[in-house]
Chain A
Amino acid sequence: MLEVSNLACSRGDHRLFSGLSFSLHPGQIMQVQGANGSGKTSLLRTLCGFLMPDEGDIAWCGESIGELDEDYYSEMLYLGHLNAIKDELSALENLRISAGLSGVELDEKDAMNALRRMGLRRKEMLPTKVLSQGQRRRVALARLLVSDAKLWILDEPLTALDVGAVALIESLLAGHLAKQGMVIFTTHQPLQVAGVEMRSLSLS
């Protein structure tokens, strides 16, 4: 489980938040809320270890993430604003490479299945530069289907997605939580996950 205690973070001279404490247990989902610029992305990036907190500690299963390092990274998945896909590569190549980077060797069949479930049938082999914004986001989100990470950190996962895709993400989240996974995410769109209580954290 993830435990955050007394976390403070600033960008430049501007203090974004301080004294932030929460914990996330298996099977729980938490939405980080706040106006633009309130530090949602900074919080998620701090949880990933990209940003050093000014104060406080982030612990995963009782140990600080700074000390766990690679053990923590093998159990978490981060999806940021940027899709991390290459225009020159096909959807299939992109998915297999990003799975490979996260430590999972994915064979072609599994990758194809994941892309088809994301609604990208017959687009698997196209270079992603010819895909639309929403389709590219789907390629990035296909990683959720092939990952065995326990903690998902999703920054605005619903950007550019249509209604059908949002429903798909909701069912994915429900499935992940049912498997005792954990999710922390931000969004400005309504998102309902059936059967679980959505916790929320407000930054102001």
Chain B
Amino acid sequence: MKKSTLFGLLVLVIRRDLVLAMRRRADVLTTLIFFVMVVSLFPLGVGPEMDMLRKMAAGVLWVAALLSSMLSLGRLFSADYLDGTLEQMMLAPQSLSMLVLGKMTAHWMVSGLPLVLMAPVLGLQFDMPVQSLGVLIVGLLLGTPVLSMVGAIGAALTLGLRGGGVLLSLLVLPLCIPVLIFGAGAVDAVSSGLSAASHLSLLGALLLLALVFTPWVTAQALRISME
């Protein structure tokens, strides 16, 4: 028997969550289909005026990404909480923050990454120029992990509550506003001929901040919820 390392634990948790997601594919698909539906409804609702669509594209895509990431947050810890796995995770001899980071990463790979990959296709519906599409993808790549990480705090705090889903959105959505502003701002900057570097740097900074603080905060929130 070998003792596992901290990195080994991280890989174990990510792999476990990915295997579980693959065996419950419906959960993954709902998030993605919701994203596609919401984004596709806008051109139908607003009408086919290219100028207007082009102008609102980034905002619509970002808001839809924000909303669809809320959909899957409730499931982040609840299944593990109900079957007792979370108890065992808290008793793991390694840091709970690392375990939480693993779960956040897996959550992003399952619910955030597909949105990033789908976004350019949807952007074409809005006639977005190639350059804007590039910035949109980079922005989403930097921003969606932040949504998963900040969302995890809310998911941990609302664990085991009735009607936790609505409360979760109310808690988390306001905290995600900076991500939305800089993400959509980056695309706007490029389409009006400016550089997106400042917006993207700020998104990167948010990502780093979230990476450092959210696993620890989430771990503390989980300890409170388990009492």
* Pair from one complex: yes
A contact residues vs B (CB 8 Å cutoff) = 48-52, 70-71, 73-74, 76-78, 80-89, 93, 97-98, 100-106, 110, 146, 148
> Is B2 touching A105 in the complex (CB atoms < 8 A)?
yes
> Is B84 touching A80 in the complex (CB atoms < 8 A)?
yes
> Is A103 touching B227 in the complex (CB atoms < 8 A)?
no
Q: CA separation between A100 and B91, bound complex, in Å?
A: 12
CB distance from B97 to the nearest CB of A (A): 11
B24 at the A interface (CB under 8 A): yes
> Is B92 touching A103 in the complex (CB atoms < 8 A)?
yes
Chain B interface: which size bin?
20 to 34
27 contacts between A and B (CB under 8 A): A50-B87, A51-B227, A73-B93, A74-B93, A76-B91, A78-B91, A84-B85, A84-B87, A84-B88, A85-B85, A86-B20, A86-B79, A88-B23, A89-B19, A93-B19, A98-B85, A100-B12, A101-B12, A102-B88, A103-B3, A103-B93, A104-B2, A104-B3, A104-B4, A105-B4, A105-B8, A110-B1
Task: Provide the B147-164 mask, 1 if CB < 8 A to any CB of A, else 0.
Answer: 000000000000000000
Q: CA separation between A82 and B84, bound complex, in Å?
A: 5
Q: Is the interface of A mostly helix, strand, loop or mixed?
A: loop
A-B pair count, CB < 8 Å, reads 90
> Is B20 touching A104 in the complex (CB atoms < 8 A)?
no
> Is A83 touching B84 in the complex (CB atoms < 8 A)?
yes
B122 at the A interface (CB under 8 A): no
> Is A73 touching B91 in the complex (CB atoms < 8 A)?
yes
When C-beta atoms are compared, the residue in chain B nearest to A101 turns out to be B92
B221 at the A interface (CB under 8 A): no
Q: A88-B23, A97-B12 are in contact. List 20 more A-B contacts (CB 8 A).
A: A48-B87, A49-B90, A50-B87, A50-B227, A73-B92, A73-B93, A76-B91, A81-B84, A82-B84, A82-B87, A84-B83, A84-B84, A85-B85, A87-B83, A97-B16, A98-B88, A102-B88, A103-B94, A104-B2, A105-B1
